[in-house]
Each structure stands twice: as C-alpha cells, then as structure tokens.
Amino acid sequence: MATFTSLQPRRSEAILLDLGDVASAVRNIVERYQGKRQYLMRMLQEIQKHYGYLPREALEELSRQTGIPLVDVLNVATFYHQFTLEPPGYYIIWVCMGTACHLKGNADNYDILKNILGLNNHSKTTKDGLFSLEKARCFGACSLAPVIMITSRDGSERYLHGHVNSLELRKIVAKYRSTALKKIKEKKGGRK
C-alpha cells in the first residue's frame, strides 16, 4: 500500500505525494548522473523541474540514494536562489527588477503586491496556494515599464502586464484570483 504525505495542510489544495512515486522519480534522476556528488545541482534542478519545487521527501530520498548527507543536500537547496522548498502558487507573479522597471517603481510595486497578497517577509506563496510572488531580472519589455509577468504553475499560461501601478495591480490580482478559483472548481468537478 502506498504512503501519502501532505506537505502544505494549510492550503486549500494540499499537495499529496505518493512516496513510492517519489522514490522512483528520484531513482531515475540519480541513475542519469550515477549518483555522483559533483552532479548534485543538476539532480536538484531536475527534481525541481519534475515537481515545480523541491519536496522534503524528494530531498530525503536523494540523500538516501546518493549517500550525500541530507544536511549537504539542504545546504545547496537553500543556498541557491533558483531553488524553492515550497510549492508554487497556482499563478506566479514575476515582478521585473531590471533597470527600467526598477526606475519606474517596480520595487514599490513588489511591496504593494506583498501587501495585496498578504505575504510576510518569509513567505513567497499565499496561504490559499493561489499565488506566488517572485522577483525577475528583465523581460525585455522596457518600453512597457514597469512590467509584471504572470505564469501558471505548469507553465502553460504566460501573460505580460505593462505600465502597472497600485490600482492596476489590485485589478490584476482580483482577475487572476477569480480565474484560478474557477479553474480549481472545474478541475474538482471533473474528478467526480
């Protein structure tokens, strides 16, 4: 019988992982790199690509299968900004911090979004799991500065919003919140 674990019980849509599937997925990745420590970053990147983040169970399994101490795996996973230990929201809001966007107020917009989303300094994902907030370098749309991009968790949706301000940010968040809730409801309805 498979064992399941809930990683984020506080969220409306808790993520459940089948530990047998985690072991299998990690084994496939480890085998490609022969479990060598020198490829730890690549193995972590592939795990994150597979899950959208680095689940604790996958990190523990990686440690078991490679013999790399868990503390070393966690040190790498928490040191590099590219890795995240929490599941991403349904939508990820990327705030451009390139020169043009920064000069046109996107640092303030980032703080406004944190406030709108109810995020504290230690969290990037809303308690309901609908949004994650991230900083980005540049989208190459400087003429539209300040710019934000919204992507879906699975990468199938990508929307660029230019000339954003606090009023527009509130409207954008409300629109995507409504869309996410509708899609989640449809998905749950399709399961029955």
Same domain, 173 and 95: yes
Note whether 56 and 96 are same-domain residues: no
Per the prediction, the chain carries an average pLDDT of 89
DSSP, collapsed to helix, strand or coil, labels residue 177 as: helix
Same domain? For 133 and 161 the reply is: yes
Q: Both 45 and 131 in a single domain?
A: no
pLDDT of 114-167, one tens digit each? 999 999 888 899 999 999 999 999 999 999 999 999 999 888 899 999 999 999
The total number of structural domains that make up the chain? 2
pLDDT of residue 190: 62
Three-class SS of residue 8? coil
Q: Say if 106 falls within a structural domain.
A: yes
Same domain membership, residue 102 and residue 18: no
φ, ψ of residue 125 in degrees (nearest 5): -120, 140
Instruction: State the pLDDT at residue 4.
Output: 34
85 inside domain: no
Do 111 and 168 fall into the same domain? yes
190 or 31, which is more confident: 31
Last residue of a domain, one of 45, 79, 113: 79
pLDDT tens-digit readout, 66-81: 999 999 999 999 998 7
pLDDT at 34 over 80: yes
Would you say residue 84 lies in a domain?
Answer: no
Query: DSSP assignment, residue 74?
Result: H
Do residue 62 and residue 11 come from a single domain?
Answer: yes
Residue span of the structural domain in which 155 resides: 91-191
**CA-CA distance, 153 to 104, in Å (whole number)?**
28
Provide the CA 77 distance to its chain's centre, in angstroms.
Answer: 14
Task: Find out whether 169 and 113 touch, Cβ atoms under 8 Å.
Answer: yes
- CATH number of domain containing 149: 3.40.30.10
101 lies in the same domain as 134 = yes
**98 and 187 together in one domain:** yes
pTM listed for this prediction:
0.73
